[in-house]
Amino acid sequence: MSSQIHFMAEMEEDIDDLLQEIEQARGEADDWWQDFPDVLTSPLDPPPRIASDVLDEIPRADLTYTQLSTTLIPHQIYPNVKLLEFRTFSGAMAYQPCCKDIDLMGFFKPLRPIEPGVDRLFKVARAWSCIIQSLEGLPKDLRWVLATVYNFANDMLCTKLSEDTM
C-alpha cells in the first residue's frame, strides 16, 4: 500500500511540474486570443443555415484546387509539424505549416520584423488555419478553404499589400 501512495505522490508532483511547464509555455507564446475577448466571452448565436450549394463556390477547375495536396508531409526538423503543399494565388508552389500547437511554438515569431503594424486578425487567421489544417483526414474542399485563408492572410500581412490593393 505504501508503494501506491509513494507512486501517487510522485505522479502528483509530475502533474504539477507539467502544468507549470504548460503555463510557462503559454506565457512565452504569442497569446493572440486575448486580443479578441469577444471570442472568449460572448455567447454565440446559433450559426445561420448554410445553403446546400455552398460547396459549388469552390473553384475545382482552378490550379489552386487541382494542385492542392491532401497529404500532410512530416517536417524534417520539427517533429509535431507537418507541411501541406499548395499553389498560391500568384501561381507559386508553397507549403503551409500544420500543427495543433503552432501558436504556442512561436512558429511565426521570426516574421515579426517584416510584419510591423499589420492587422492582427490576419495573424490569428493564419495560425488558426494552420491549427485546423493539422487534422488528419480533412476533405480536399476544406483543405482548399484553409489553404486559401492561409495564403490570403500571408498576402495581407505583407507590408507592400493592403486590403485596397487586393
Closest CA to 132 of 106, 99, 94: 99
Q: Name the least confident of 39-43, 107-111, 112-116.
A: 39-43
- pLDDT at position 162 over 60: no
Residue spans of alpha helices (H) in the chain:
2-28, 37-41, 63-66, 102-105, 120-133, 140-157
The single-letter DSSP state of residue 114 is: G
pLDDT band for position 18 (50/70/90)?
Answer: low
Q: Who has greater pLDDT, 108 or 14?
A: 108
C-alpha cell at 148: 486559401
Measured in residues, the chain has a length of 166
Q: What is the pLDDT of residue 65?
A: 95
Mean pLDDT of the chain: 82
pLDDT band for position 105 (50/70/90)?
Answer: confident
Strands 82-87 and 93-98: antiparallel
Closest CA to 13 of 68, 24, 5: 5
Instruction: Please answer whether residues 84 and 142 qualify as being in contact, where contact means their C-beta atoms are separated by less than 8 angstroms.
Output: no
Instruction: Please answer whether residues 133 and 143 qualify as being in contact, where contact means their C-beta atoms are separated by less than 8 angstroms.
Output: yes
Q: What is the pLDDT of residues 52-68, one digit of tens each?
A: 788 888 999 999 999 99
Angle of helix 120-133 relative to helix 140-157, nearest 10 degrees, comes to: 150
